[in-house]
Amino acid sequence: MPQAYTHTFDTPLYKGSVTINIGLFIDGKWVDPVDGGDRIDVVDPCTGKVITSVVGGTSKDVDIAVAAAEKAYKTSWGLKVPGSERGKLLAKLADLVEQHGDELAALEALNVGKPFHMAKMIDIMTITVQSLRYYAGWADKIQGKTIETNENKMAYTRHEPYGVVGAITPWNIPIVTLKIAPLLATGNVAVLKPSEVTPLTALYFADLVNKAGFPPGTVNIINGYGSTVGDAISRHPSIRAIAFTGSTLTGRKILKASAESNMKKVALELGGKSPTIVFDDAELDQAIKWASGGIFSNMGQGCVAGSRIYVQEGIYDQFLQGFKKSAEVLTDATGGPFEPGAQHGPQVSSLQFERVMGYINSGKTEGANVLIGGERQGNTGYFIKPTIFTEAKADMKIMQEEIFGPVCSVVKFKTEEGKQVTEWANNTTYGLSANVLTTNVARSIRMANNLEAGSVWVNSGPVVDMAVPFGGFKQSGNSKEFGQYALDAYTQVKAIHINIGQRL
């Protein structure tokens, strides 16, 4: 049996100890990998030092987890359990997450490096608790239709679960409920792989699943690398669907694995290169705040990060001056997740640090101007100063590729007419989200309709709502999170034809 991992925090924001198990969670129990498994180091991004290690599984462990999940689906979950009962358990799980919000937020802050108060307010209390409660409400409302055809036939549809569903979650917001909540609400069972970079919250969450009373095998969590556990989940013949959030490159690999195995349903939420468009008539102070939050929150490590900022020429200089000040404030408020006043933390890993610095160096080499930042901060950990480029050209790497760090480019444009700024905004392979800042209602609607993005925020930053679908166009994905639309990823439609009159 793997040993528990305990970490004690001694900070002004959070005091106490958090205990997690570092093993594999299969059939409601903590177990060791069948072949001993790898030891995967978990690193504190503020120091670059290992804080613990978790055990990693293999394809053999995925096989065992799938078998446990199949048994649970057939005997104690799925269509055998009414939606109202599934909803009660999800609601109870939401209550437990809320009760243990400090512990979950502390683990996430430690593991990702984001400020504790942000981890608790956004990731735990908003995203996690709300997603569980929202889909708890949906669990008994998953309905088909009665379809009129002719007087000799009755036809209706059923929205049925797939059974065993694989889920692979990202490292930037590692809490797993965005997949788990709709997956369980629809009657499916899960074999889930958390990111090997940030596994701690998923492991703590597993014990809450047991405390809530879910049948053993309903949720199984397998630590491991993408090349082993992730690939095994993607190819497993008894996993009928898979939901993934992460990079476009990995999304392609999952699609290929599905095609080469059992053609499982694949729901992807992938990368982005989101534009923020600021018009002359925008409320300047608000526009600066929304644009700053849109790129620098979570240290730029978000798929919706507004890394291309287009500002109309009439307010360009004023905007740039205020935007630079917002970056300076964050630079001064850089620190560890439990430091009072910290607003900006490190990149999640040395790999991500080097990746972001590589993009910064690329921007410099290709001729863009660094207005502020453009370098690491301090000598310890993976901190990068908030970075603003100007004079960037559309074909530069920093304008075309997802950086996933606190780096953006500010570009001047003339007018809405001629759709120049719209064409610039749409000029990427991505289409996840966009932001439009203007007080002209007609313009905001025109722009929103013309932008190639799955979500458009007007006079706002990328603030999600559980009732509103979220997901991308183009290479940003093929599915939706949130809202009723998310249920489509976890249900299959059966059509039933009943002859009620015709005789041969």
Mind telling me the catalytic residues? Answer: 269
Residue 36: strand pairing partners: none
Q: Strand 369-372's sheet: what is its strand order?
A: 369-372, 387-390, 407-413, 308-312, 275-278, 433-437, 455-458
CB 257 within 8 Å of CB 234: yes
Pairwise CA distance, residues 487 & 135, whole Å:
9
CB 402 within 8 Å of CB 271: yes
Pairwise CA distance, residues 296 & 294, whole Å:
6
175: its two tokens: 């809490």
Q: How do strand 219-221 and strand 241-245 relate by DSSP bridges?
A: unpaired
Q: Within 10 Å of residue 262's Cβ, how many Cβ atoms?
A: 13
Q: Within 10 Å of residue 43's Cβ, how many Cβ atoms?
A: 21
Residue 168: strand pairing partners: 193, 244
User: If DSSP codes are grouped into helix, strand and coil, which group holds residue 193?
Assistant: strand
Place of tokens 């049925």: 160
Pairwise CA distance, residues 147 & 156, whole Å:
6
